[in-house]
Amino acid sequence: MLRFLTAGESHGPELVAVIEGAPAGFEIDLAAINQDLARRQKGYGRGGRMAIERDEARVVSGIRFGRTIGSPVTLIVENRDFKNWEKRMSANPADRGEAKVVTRPRPGHADLAGVLKYNLEDIRDVLERASARETTMRVAAGSFARQLISPFGVKVLGYVASIGSTAARVPPNIGLDELARITEESQVRVADAEAERAIIAEIDACKKEGDTLGGVVEVIAAGLPVGLGSHVQWDRKLDGRLAQALLSLQAVKGVEIGIGFQAARVRGSELHDEIGYDASARRFTRHSNNSGGTEGGMTTGEPMRVRVAFKPLSTLMRPLKSVDLKTKAEAVGAIERSDVCAIPAAAVIAETVVAFELARAFMEKFGGDSLAEITRNYRGYLDQVRDY
């Protein structure tokens, strides 16, 4: 099974991802992983930290001469900011006195539940790991996993659908490559110049007021074969797995697949994607794609469309009411350096998280220990579906 764990504190020395279950023989382009890491760092509305970091993955295991060898793949990214935190984030008990203890939990953050649950005195012991800095390694793992499915023609793209009160239009009938090119050039990862201006103005206004902004990102995956995931068991349903992976991202409050919540408001006759058959291509077709590419927990073979809602960041420069943990006196939430809006980065994060889950489902379906074995299984299955 393809799976991964991450480790590392936001201001610790390094961030780590260990990816288990990657088959052998896949060419891995480290530069492409680093490009995704750089994409995650961009976007209008980020704070001072991104000027310090230059995220680059180092391979510690699992790749030899540019190819996977079947062993666990370990990727490491250095936190350049660690040099400013060395004493405060030290593992050495002799440095305990260096800590500036954080005692005012921020509403919306993991701070309060975290200190109570883990019986900690310093909120920093919670916030360091709860920080969205952790998504660096989800992007590294997801970008790696993308390279396990891209040889089979799977493409995954994330972009911004809305930020704050401004929704961005997507040009009708635009191809995925063109949409990728345009959104990549945008400062807020949209394909709508007018919306981009409005969003930048809203971010600026928010910054002035010490406030933060959330938004919705959309992920599209194309080139998927029918039948990834399964209807037979709850924890094998692909849409359920995607929702879990995406809802586990910092600040995510909602996930929709296809037309999502809107599906609950229309009649069945308007919603369901009618089936056709293309005799020359010997494939079943759909007249629409309201399902967003999944039915019964399996891919339909149509493009997958997932939308993810991120709440505004919980570190406010004009903080909300809170209580000091030590004195129990009324206070305001602690101020930490942070971003005003990280939604353009969230689009890259959601994109790579979806890529990882798709690669996991792909490897389960075509399971094998090498590229050659998986390719045989994949081709055999496509023949089977075509000859049905």
60-69: long-range pairs with CB below 8 Å, 24+ = 62/19, 62/22, 63/28, 63/30, 66/27, 66/28, 66/29, 67/24, 67/25, 67/26, 67/27, 67/28, 68/22, 68/23, 68/24, 68/25, 68/26, 68/28, 69/24
Task: Give the up-direction half-sphere exposure of residue 338: CA atoms within 13 A in the CB hemisphere.
Answer: 25
Q: Does 237 bind ligand EPS (CB under 6 A)?
A: no
According to DSSP, residue 49 is labeled H
Q: Please say which residue, 54 or 64, places its beta carbon nearer to ligand EPS.
A: 54
User: Cα–Cα distance between 210 and 317 in angstroms, integer?
Assistant: 4
Q: Does 13 bind ligand EPS (CB under 6 A)?
A: no
Q: Please say which residue, 47 or 296, places its beta carbon nearer to ligand EPS.
A: 47
Min dist. Cβ of residue 35 to ligand EPS (A): 16
Alpha-helical segments (H) within 53-192: 111-118, 124-130, 135-149, 176-185
The interface region with ligand EPS, picked from 271-279, 286-294, 331-339, 364-372 by CB under 6 A, is 331-339
One of 218, 339, 351, 357 touching ligand EPS (CB under 6 A)? 339
One of 68, 103, 131, 147 touching ligand EPS (CB under 6 A)? 131
Q: Does 111 bind ligand EPS (CB under 6 A)?
A: no
The interface region with ligand EPS, picked from 30-38, 110-118, 141-149, 330-338 by CB under 6 A, is 330-338
Evaluate whether 66 touches 28 at the Cβ level (below 8 Å): yes
Q: Does 338 bind ligand EPS (CB under 6 A)?
A: yes
- Phi-psi bin for 153: left (phi > 0), alpha (psi -120 to 50), beta? left
One of 10, 143, 162, 322 touching ligand EPS (CB under 6 A)? 10
Which amino acid is it at 368? G
Min dist. Cβ of residue 256 to ligand EPS (A): 24
Min dist. Cβ of residue 11 to ligand EPS (A): 6
- Cα–Cα distances in Å, from 157 out to 63, 179, 291, 301, 356? 25, 9, 18, 17, 13
Which amino acid is it at 90? S
Q: Does 104 bind ligand EPS (CB under 6 A)?
A: no
The interface region with ligand EPS, picked from 110-118, 204-212, 286-294, 335-343 by CB under 6 A, is 335-343
Q: Does 49 bind ligand EPS (CB under 6 A)?
A: yes
Q: Please say which residue, 295 or 336, places its beta carbon nearer to ligand EPS.
A: 336
**Number of residues in contact with ligand EPS under rule CB under 6 A:** 13
178-181: long-range pairs with CB below 8 Å, 24+ = 179/220
Phi and psi dihedrals of 149, rounded to 5?
-110, -15
One of 13, 21, 25, 47 touching ligand EPS (CB under 6 A)? 47
Phi and psi dihedrals of 182, rounded to 5?
-70, -45
Q: Does 133 bind ligand EPS (CB under 6 A)?
A: yes
Q: Does 315 bind ligand EPS (CB under 6 A)?
A: yes
Binding site for ligand EPS (CB under 6 A): 10, 47, 49, 131-133, 136, 250, 315, 336-339
